[in-house]
């Protein structure tokens, strides 16, 4: 519900569990009032009247709902503009507000210049998230140096801590918690894509939150390109942050009559710890962000680790036979099926079957896969191109480049410019044709190249490419899905380099990491699920020893780790023993039984490397022990169960009291390296 108090010039946004309030001051500046536990409109007005007046001796205005450059403001702005005569900044003049359902729009104009700014807020039934974005409209030429989606202000606390994920290729989603220092901390990507090094979200607490207790404020940016989030703690102890697309050094030009809209930056307050925040994010992403489809993700086999670039039709058919035998639902042919692609040196961009490897095209293999009872899937990298390709030879101007500058190669490839209409039309044509002719049901969309020499010679607004490439990718994905509504799409960028709410509005899941080592995946998956739900987390069972780390682990352990997400198999099944294949068949059957709970239930992180999924009637718990040296005698207590209910162990038939599982828990694991346990419980009547 959205409420307005005209006399106080205050707006209150009320969700099922939170309230968010702000008001306009005498100079029409929007100022933050409250973000936290539920309030009435009258209570919000009382809080606003009690806020401290601006200190005339301070060098910081502070507490503003959206920070513009100008006046006594010296922190990071949300908006920085420069007019043709060199004048900078924005002075607020309130025009109007509108409320349509759960959407509030406040319209402002600069007091002197011909520039309009709309601030948008949206709340959704059943969720505590607040979606925010902004629209800038120019009636005179203006350079936009920074244009963020939203700024967020926290209540005053004695201390603050920030939680976020960091990493690199093969070590994505490493959860980090740090004290917020006085000054500015910038979380950015200049890669053109989301990047493995930092996720586009933050969680803050008062350094007192735990997994299930304490207040947590968070926000996630729905954007898959270059970005910047600036977290600030001022000398008086207040914490706030502002964020949006782009990074320092970029300038976007608006001409009269033109508008620029930001991506959505969604905020959430949770009173029940990091676990409560995660479950609220999972529910929001599942219901409001992801493409609408049943929760359960298909069980895939991917051929990459089995074959890499050494691919033939015969070999793929052999793998398909074995995959069908263990219960796989979709067989995905990875890299090297196209053009002259026998290594990463050539062929990228030539999206037709390699005539030497597939003399009759991919049709016979796809038909064989379907005859085995599986769907057919493919790997593609639409944004990449090798110089040694027919596409590049025909269209060398299609790549990101600048006149007079070296065209740097990385991974022997360049990035195609999806800001160009002709590039997007080319991509849509071959993608739709390929998935239609082959009846592809699962497409792995990879992107292995960060941006360099970013430009589009001759463009009037050259830096706009940083925005328009990402929007071009979104457009192609949207048109592909519209043409093939049943298609499952997986986002991949050298592993987990494009995992955000922007791409997940189009992709059903993300490839979490190229590192498939089950032991390493524990931490990777732990970080992924701080914000993103388990159903979005691609997780393969691969060979032992692992090809990435050379670490040997049991097949049971590898399966259990992968079962905690959207499981797939990526090992070379031709080399698996009969015993391993028998284990695989049994564990696949077990996964299919628990999949509705893992993909559709609420996730609880338990102590001692354990994770739990809960629906109304079923519970699934995975316990992991990475090392015998870390063995604990402490039992793993479950969460969220009905203490008055009884639960039967599906495997043993033993019946447990809910109160006992909550208070006393499950037995600890045996003292061996890389051990695991799966417990599946069903609620039974008394």
As annotated, the binding site for substrate includes 169, 334-335, 411, 444-448, 492, 514
Bond from prior residue into 162 cis (ω within 30 degrees of 0): no
Using DSSP's 3-state secondary structure scheme, residue 677 falls into strand
Residue owning tokens 């309130």: 94
Q: Which of 376, 388, 307 is nearest to 349 (CA)?
A: 388
Query: Are the C-beta atoms of 60 and 87 separated by less than 8 Å?
Result: no
Euclidean distance between CA atoms 104 and 278, whole angstroms: 26
Query: Are the C-beta atoms of 270 and 119 separated by less than 8 Å?
Result: no
Q: Would you list the DSSP string of 359-396?
A: TT-SHHHHHHHHHTT-EEEEEE-TTEE-SBSHHHHH-G
Q: Output phi, psi for 499, to 5 deg.
A: -125, 100
**17, two tokens:** 């569990």
Give the relative orientation of helices 421-437 and 465-483 as an angle to the nearest 10 degrees: 30
The dihedral of CA 306, 308, 311, 317: what is its sign?
positive
Element of type H or E holding 472: helix 465-483
Using DSSP's 3-state secondary structure scheme, residue 667 falls into coil
Residue 157 buriedness (CB in 10 A; 0-12 / 13-18 / 19+) = middle
Query: Catalytic residues, which ones?
Result: 446, 514
Q: Output phi, psi for 466, to 5 deg.
A: -65, -30
**525, two tokens:** 């998956």
Between strands 30-36 and 19-24, the pairing is antiparallel
Query: Are the C-beta atoms of 238 and 153 separated by less than 8 Å?
Result: yes
The dihedral of CA 469, 470, 471, 473: what is its sign?
positive
Strand partners, 624: 676
What lies within 8 Å, CB to CB, of 153 at 6+ separation is 32, 35, 63, 64, 65, 238, 239, 240
Strand partners, 30: 24
Element of type H or E holding 648: strand 646-649
């Amino acid at each position: 519900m959205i409420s307005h108090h005209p006399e106080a010039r205050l707006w209150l946004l009320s969700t099922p569990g939170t309230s968010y309030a702000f008001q306009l001051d005498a100079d029409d500046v929007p100022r933050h009032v409250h973000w936290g536990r539920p309030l009435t409109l009258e209570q919000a007005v009382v809080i606003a009247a009690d806020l401290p007046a601006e200190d005339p001796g301070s060098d910081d205005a502070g507490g503003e709902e959206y920070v513009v450059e100008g006046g006594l403001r010296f922190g990071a702005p949300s908006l920085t503009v420069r007019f043709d005569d060199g004048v900078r900044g924005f002075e607020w003049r309130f025009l109007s507000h509108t409320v349509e359902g759960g959407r509030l729009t406040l319209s402002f104009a600069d007091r002197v210049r011909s520039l309009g700014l709309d601030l948008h807020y949206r709340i959704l039934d059943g969720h505590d998230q607040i979606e925010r974005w902004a629209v800038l409209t120019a009636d005179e030429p203006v350079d936009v140096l920074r244009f963020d989606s939203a700024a967020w202000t926290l209540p005053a606390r004695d201390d603050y801590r920030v939680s976020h994920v960091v990493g690199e290729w093969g070590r994505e989603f490493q959860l980090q918690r740090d004290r917020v220092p006085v000054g500015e901390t910038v979380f950015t990507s200049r890669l053109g894509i989301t990047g493995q090094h930092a996720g586009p979200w933050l969680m803050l607490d008062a350094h007192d939150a735990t997994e299930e207790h304490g207040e947590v404020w968070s926000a996630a940016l729905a954007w898959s390109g270059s970005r910047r989030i600036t977290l600030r703690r001022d000398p008086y102890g207040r914490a706030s942050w502002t964020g949006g697309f782009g990074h320092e050094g970029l300038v976007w030009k608006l001409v009269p009559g033109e508008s620029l809209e930001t991506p959505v930056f969604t905020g959430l307050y949770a009173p029940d710890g990091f676990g409560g925040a995660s479950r609220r994010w999972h529910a929001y992403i599942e219901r409001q962000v992801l493409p609408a489809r049943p929760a359960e993700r298909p069980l895939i086999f991917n051929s990459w680790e089995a074959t890499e670039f050494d691919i033939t039709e015969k070999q793929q058919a052999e793998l398909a036979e074995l995959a069908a035998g263990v219960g796989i639902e979709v067989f995905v042919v990875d890299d090297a099926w196209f053009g002259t692609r026998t290594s990463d040196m050539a062929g990228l961009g030539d999206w037709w079957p390699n005539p030497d490897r597939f003399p009759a095209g991919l049709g016979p293999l796809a038909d064989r896969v379907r005859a085995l009872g599986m769907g057919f899937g493919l790997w593609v990298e639409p944004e990449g191109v090798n110089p040694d390709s027919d596409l590049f030879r025909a269209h060398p101007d299609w790549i990101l480049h600048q006149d007079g500058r070296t065209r740097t190669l990385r991974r022997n490839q360049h990035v195609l410019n999806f800001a160009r209409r002709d590039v997007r039309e080319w991509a849509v044509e071959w993608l739709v044709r390929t998935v239609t002719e082959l009846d592809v049901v699962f497409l792995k969309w990879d992107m292995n190249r960060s941006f360099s020499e970013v430009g589009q010679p001759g463009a009037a607004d050259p830096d706009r490419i940083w925005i328009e490439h990402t929007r071009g990718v979104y457009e192609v994905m949207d048109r592909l899905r519209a043409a093939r509504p049943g298609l499952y799409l997986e986002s991949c960028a050298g592993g987990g380099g494009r995992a955000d709410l922007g791409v997940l509005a189009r992709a059903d899941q993300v490839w979490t990491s190229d590192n498939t080592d089950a032991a390493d995946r524990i931490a990777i998956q732990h970080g992924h699920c701080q914000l993103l739900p388990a159903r979005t987390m691609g997780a393969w069972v691969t060979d032992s020893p692992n090809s990435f780390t050379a670490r040997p682990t049991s097949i049971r352990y590898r399966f259990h780790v992968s079962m905690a997400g959207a499981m797939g198999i990526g090992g070379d099944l031709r080399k698996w023993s009969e015993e391993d294949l028998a284990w695989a068949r049994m564990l696949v059957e077990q996964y299919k039984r628990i999949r509705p709970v893992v993909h559709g239930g609420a996730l609880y992180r338990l102590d001692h490397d354990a994770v739990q999924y809960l629906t109304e009637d079923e519970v699934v718990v995975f316990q992991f022990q990475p090392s015998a040296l870390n063995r604990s005698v402490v039992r793993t207590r479950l969460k969220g169960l009905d203490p008055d209910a009884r639960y039967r162990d599906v495997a043993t038939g033993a019946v447990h009291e809910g109160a006992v599982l909550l208070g006393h828990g499950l037995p600890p694991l045996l003292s061996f390296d890389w051990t695991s346990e799966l417990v599946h419980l069903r609620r039974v009547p008394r």
